[in-house]
Structure 1
């Protein structure tokens, strides 16, 4: 006695003969009667295998022909012959006799019986085994045609003729619609209501456009269908799990938790361990006051890799360290290697997670490598991994001052095509933030207040873990601490800013977010300079200067170089007596040592379009050159013969002509910096007063049109 089959193993008991099935059978006849060359024959069988699988909507008649004849170019003659043969087939099938003879010719390639060992008998003209993938398809189509009544045959002929002409007919017929005289010999399975995928397809479409009521209703209709011969399908827990995921994606966390709890109970009662694991992972995390306390310590057997990977997001959002996040990531990789059903989607999700973690860790080169892997091997659609990789790439471009490149990445149709309404919210926010950050750097206050703020996209629902972020003190969020410190430093409240800087240093060092740690180090050095500890500030910056100078974030590099130059200049005054002016030669040496860092800062600020900070650097350069010239002139007057400048081995006391020439050169550089200051200040005023141009309006209109297309509402 055979064991009972599960709902997933239950085969489809009904079959409706569609027009494209006849076209596929015509390809069988042409290939089996006159087999082409092996390479072209392999191409045709691959196309037939994909069409029979029906994993995608069937191709039209012309599309099927184009796919068949698009084989290897070295067999152009066979391609043309096959295309001509397929186009000549329909005219022989527009009559009942022609269609009947067609199916008789097709079934002739399949044996009618098996031998004693159960193998198909391939004698005579038989070319396809009865129980093979293609043999089962041919026999199924033949039996479906054999069961048709005269009325059913007339409808099939009419539908096939219209389909060949390019009309979509013959696909609105359901298996249970055939009891109205279309079948000559209806069976018991033809009269039963079998489960259909249409409600679930409508459910997914409703989720994409944000229609919650329609999504819930179609989800209920799908799981209310009869999936097996028993009265109880045993899939109620799957319905509740999908409902929990729907509420979760919409930010309705309490409803998601309730549905997940109920689904967990049903899954345990049904001994469905895998569904129980999914339900357990989708329950809400409890509020806590310590980072990392919500992350489970062990991974149970058969845990889905994506569920383990979700722990990485929860850990980052709740203030856990990157070390624990990487440990969870490796556990997810191990679960994927141990699972026979590890999906390709999970692999790209792990690459996207690694890119995010390496970005937090300050290793941009590895982050870009993982992002490029995800982008290269995924296509357009609602894949979160691809969208996150493209968003991270665009954000990095904005940070580097390349707003145009970031918009090209985000506005590429391959980026936004197929997004859901939830994903559209994140995508639209990134487009707006790219424009906002650029305008903020340029101090375009009128553009921000009059154009960007009124057209800001609505907020997308926060992920589940992020909704609990504010349950933790600010000291666990170095980003918040650094922003508060920056605001206090701008207001000259350095004592209060120091507290937040130390919080940011503690949090970033504990978590391993070295990108934010370097920024906090530079802020601490700036505060140290204001407190008269320039030497200490210089040593602090030089400790992480190699990682800053590689240019992963040129805004931080410009800020660090400007601060380091200030520390070097201030250090020359504070080493001995703060009130006493240092010797001219020592002052000149310190000023010349600061010039390269100021030049790097000026170049970086120019690249990212921060005009105000660039003016500060240019002004400092002008003052530095002026003071170097004054120091050199003082050295000429004093006849100093002991000091040696960093950029030359000439003792100024032995070569007064070189000393005077150097002083004159510094004066010229001072004047050039003054002229540059006037030009940049003029440019700053022009840019700050600019409004929205046609290009910016076109970008914002594109965002609106994409949203209207996703909602299927005319703009």
Structure 2
């Protein structure tokens, strides 16, 4: 499954199928009673593989299946791994408190060993960092969360712009570079590395990353004046994105709207056609509390309304844009959050209880 092994995901599913068949055959001939940890472990692996493939909904089905049929609080962490992955996927959709609630259920943390507690606390920490990064709370991250990180692997580049520490991924690192340079209108300088990452994503069948790379390529195409080509490119990928959630959907819809306006030479017809895409993008960014992107799309919406002569809608959207700018400034200045502080006190108390029993 490692990206740098440069193997397609189909090879992973081939191995999973072989292992499952061998286990079933061995169990039948040995009259071996299935052990839950052995029986459900392959579903956890499949959930991870499906997520890497870009099929999050199928991954969620496998995780929920494992969570339903495994014993909580056992020495085996198969059910815990499924719960951790499911909670993070849920948080990625903007349901941060609900995701934390899943992990705080006594059935999840009761009976954890010290090692498993570290995984459990680490996933809660990851969800809090994800939330802080989307809200733009870099100060909260540096002054509160960073110093409380459990003993887990962590690369800030997965959450924050401007971090130079590479992820050692031949696909994700170029995408992070393009996203960062896009903020300074210099993304076109990375077109070669983007095309290379796009090739690797397609060959390795990592369709989630592939979709993101295609949207970036269409976005860069606008800088070169390739409006018709960019519109055609993003239209081809949108059916795979439109039913999704989160940043990718919002980014795709904004890019589609920009391509529509540019390809239509900013005519009133093109502007009206772009409106539903921008409205859906605003909803997508609002659902996950991605404040900077939300402010940008609201500014673009107010501009479109202005050019269409829709003064009331323009003024309403301009006011919302101003409000979100004020909220961004407010949350960025926060060095602490009462909810996060109380939550981490609970996590620490659970750790103290587990350590006392060891």
Q: TM-score, normalised by structure 1?
A: 0.46
Residues 86-135 of structure 1: CA distance to partner in whole angstroms, max 9, x if unpaired?
A: xxxxxxxxxxxxxxxxxxxxxxxxxxxxxxxxxxxxxxxxxxxxxxxxxx
Query: 1:705 deviation in Å?
Result: 2.4
| 1:685–1:475 Cα change, 3 Å | closer
Q: Distance in 2 between matches of 1:479 and 1:404?
A: 28
- Corresponding residue to 2:224 among 531, 535, 538: 531
Matching residue of 1:392 = 85
Q: Map 1:292-691 onto structure 2 (within 5 A).
A: 318-340=5-27, 341=32, 342-381=34-73, 382-459=75-152, 477-551=170-244, 553-573=245-265, 587-629=267-309, 666-691=310-335
Q: Distance in 2 between matches of 1:488 and 1:525?
A: 15
Query: 1:538 deviation in Å?
Result: 1.4
Q: TM-score, normalised by structure 2?
A: 0.89
| 1:566–1:460 Cα change, 3 Å | closer
Describe the SS at the equivalent of 2:308.
helix
Describe the SS at the equivalent of 1:492.
coil
Query: 1:495 deviation in Å?
Result: 3.0
Q: Distance in 2 between matches of 1:497 and 1:398?
A: 31
Q: Distance in 1 between matches of 2:195 and 2:148?
A: 37
Q: Is the 8 A contact 1:475 1:503 kept in 2?
A: no
RMSD of the TM alignment (CA)?
2.2
Q: Is the 8 A contact 2:3 2:170 kept in 1?
A: no
Q: Is the 8 A contact 1:399 1:555 kept in 2?
A: no
Q: Is the 8 A contact 2:44 2:63 kept in 1?
A: yes
Describe the SS at the equivalent of 2:151.
coil
Matching residue of 2:160 = none
Describe the SS at the equivalent of 1:609.
coil
More moved, 385-394 vs 417-426: 417-426
Q: Map 1:16-95 onto structure 2 (within 5 A).
A: none
Q: Is the 8 A contact 1:316 1:325 kept in 2?
A: no
Describe the SS at the equivalent of 1:453.
helix
Residues 256-288 of structure 1: CA distance to partner in whole angstroms, max 9, x if unpaired?
A: xxxxxxxxxxxxxxxxxxxxxxxxxxxxxxxxx
Describe the SS at the equivalent of 1:712.
helix
Q: Which runs of 5+ in 2 are unaligned?
A: 155-165
Residues 529-554 of structure 1: CA distance to partner in whole angstroms, max 9, x if unpaired?
A: 11211221111111111110102x32
Q: Is the 8 A contact 1:486 1:497 kept in 2?
A: no
Describe the SS at the equivalent of 2:54.
coil
Query: 1:557 deviation in Å?
Result: 0.4
More moved, 424-433 vs 396-405: 424-433
Q: Distance in 1 between matches of 2:168 and 2:261?
A: 33
Q: Distance in 2 between matches of 1:378 and 1:702?
A: 25
Query: 1:355 deviation in Å?
Result: 1.2
Q: When the two structures are aligned, how many residues end up with a matched partner?
A: 341
Q: Is the 8 A contact 1:475 1:504 kept in 2?
A: no
Matching residue of 1:652 = none
Matching residue of 1:61 = none
Q: Which runs of 5+ in 1 are unaligned?
A: 1-312, 462-472, 574-581, 630-665
Q: Is the 8 A contact 1:425 1:460 kept in 2?
A: no
| 1:533–1:359 Cα change, 3 Å | same
> Greater helix share, 1 or 2?
2
Q: Distance in 1 between matches of 2:184 and 2:357?
A: 48
Q: Is the 8 A contact 1:591 1:624 kept in 2?
A: yes
Greater C-alpha radius of gyration: 1
Residues 564-595 of structure 1: CA distance to partner in whole angstroms, max 9, x if unpaired?
A: 1111111123xxxxxxxx7xxxx000000100
Matching residue of 2:339 = 695
Q: Is the 8 A contact 1:360 1:513 kept in 2?
A: yes
